[in-house]
Amino acid sequence: MEQICTFGACSTTIDDLQLFRGAADPYVASMLTNCPVVSVACGERVDDGSRERLFIVLSGQLEIGADARSGGEDGGTRILPGESAGEQAVIDDSAELATMTALEDSELLVIDSVTVWALMERSHALSLNLLRLLSFRIRAANALAQRRQKLGNFYRQLSLNDALTGLYNRAWLNDMLPKLAARAAQDGGSLSLVMVDLDHFKRFNDTHGHVAGDAALIAAASALRDGLRPSDFAVRYGGEEMMVILPGTSLDQAVMVAQRLCESLREAVVFADMCLPLPHVTGSFGVASLAPGAGERALM
């Protein structure tokens, strides 16, 4: 930044500044006369954050909280001519933590914190304008935080789901299975697992191709998922290896579920629109159950 003049010597008037709207007071205007006006080149950082200062854009644009090269795509706030930045640092008497970068060659009016507080004490209208501005900034920051949280949850959900079948993946299983087992033990309930290994899947892939193999995996996953309760979970934890987790389900009940799923898998159709559908898919099923006080196992 380089000082080029003072506010009293530039062509911009106090009426052009949003923060001073309705604050038409000769004394207020006189307090701004000797405040410096600095120039900032495009892409240059506005301030090193070492002092609490209010910046008002006279010309050009600033971006807060983002790299100017991003074009605002990562959530930066643009400050246009007549608007201000750095109010929070002045109010908190702390250094401005957010990055402020010029999006184009800009001229800024710089007001130190002592002058800002003196202006607020002098002008009720200015204080109201600042309060409204801070309220807007807080709402905007909260909205941005909520959007980022939703986006983070979305990507986290993607990371826990198998991209091909939509079932939960091994990362989800490693995280959730111990928790489900601990909850069952704490509540005195049962927890059952149904393991599924698709039969001769490598041969299926070699014979019909990987596109057909992917379609077979999707069909098998759908058959398992569609046969479960909302409280149950279906997981793909290996290439052709899947699992069904059944909370609150005893060994005998889990065996019946496995039999039903086995039949559904056998009836699943791969590429139903073909004149000659591909062979049905079968799987080997194993059932294990964790009952209160003891573990039970059964194989099919």
Residues that are catalytic: 240
> Does residue 204 sit in helix, strand or coil?
helix
d(CA 104, CA 297): 69
Beta strands at 283-291 and 191-198: parallel, antiparallel or unpaired:
antiparallel
Edge to edge, what strands does the sheet with 100-102 contain? 77-79, 62-64, 100-102
Smallest CA-to-CA distance from 82 within 34, 128, 133, 33 is with 133
Whether the Cβ atoms of residue 248 and residue 261 lie closer than 8 Å to each other: no
d(CA 52, CA 73): 28
DSSP string, 227-285: TS-TT-EEEE-SSSEEEEEEET--HHHHHHHHHHHHHHHHH--SSTTSSSPPPPP-EEE
Q: Which H or E run includes 90?
A: helix 87-92
Amino acid at 21: R
Residues 6+ apart with CB under 8 A from 263: none
Q: What pairing do the DSSP bridges indicate for beta strands 100-102 and 62-64?
A: antiparallel
User: 281-299: string of b/e by CB count within 10 Å (b at 16+)?
Assistant: bebebebbbbeeeeeeeee
